[in-house]
Structure 1
């Protein structure tokens, strides 16, 4: 019978974790993220107006501006005149058709409690009506004061009054 001989190692087994492959993997991942991150950035063009404090009484009131207001109950009004949702696009289309393409600007004022879906529908309706630029106002726009009435003037019937010219 043959005898077996066992060779005893001169050093004990190494039970420490080898971190070299871990460092290699982390460095490769770091390089990949450094290369890919600039490609993930997407720019959104936002035009922010310069702020200038103008008291409300000094603000010029432009009769040609179109301001669509959305109330909490979901009713639309164009320049403080209530409009039924079914007539909204047609009325806005009539008002915008008299203007040049660059002047077709519609501002929106929505109440904080207004339905977001109705606001998006108002945006879509304005685009369908031919609006060139849509603007969102963060504060309620003051209503223009009524023109002084001449006591000697004859009353004007709103149905026969001439339409304002842009």
Structure 2
């Protein structure tokens, strides 16, 4: 009796034991395109011409990332915490943000990147505001002179 109802067919299909990798390749290519587009955006920062001077590097603790405050040549303030940068902000906004960060991370060191051509008073007012916000340690970032880099 062949092919009757309720009976098992004579030839069974073997279960497929291969993994279909085509969807995984599609997902991988999409992720590759996303990372290629976003990677240049992650390395953008504030264009600051640092003053050149010879100085010893600052010794910092290993597990504490410094808070970097930048002042560009127009006198605009930027805040960088870890890999995250900010849009230009006013001095009072910057002071509020730094105060909030320092209330959570008391041992954070603050580094100031001031453009070489920014007015000295702008940097001094910035450092005074940072101290008022609770900063105990403020350092200045500089470049090494070009003749010493060779």
Bigger relative CO (Cα 8 Å, ≥ 6 apart)? 2
| Higher Rg | 1
**TM-score, normalization by structure 2:** 0.48
**TM-score, normalization by structure 1:** 0.44
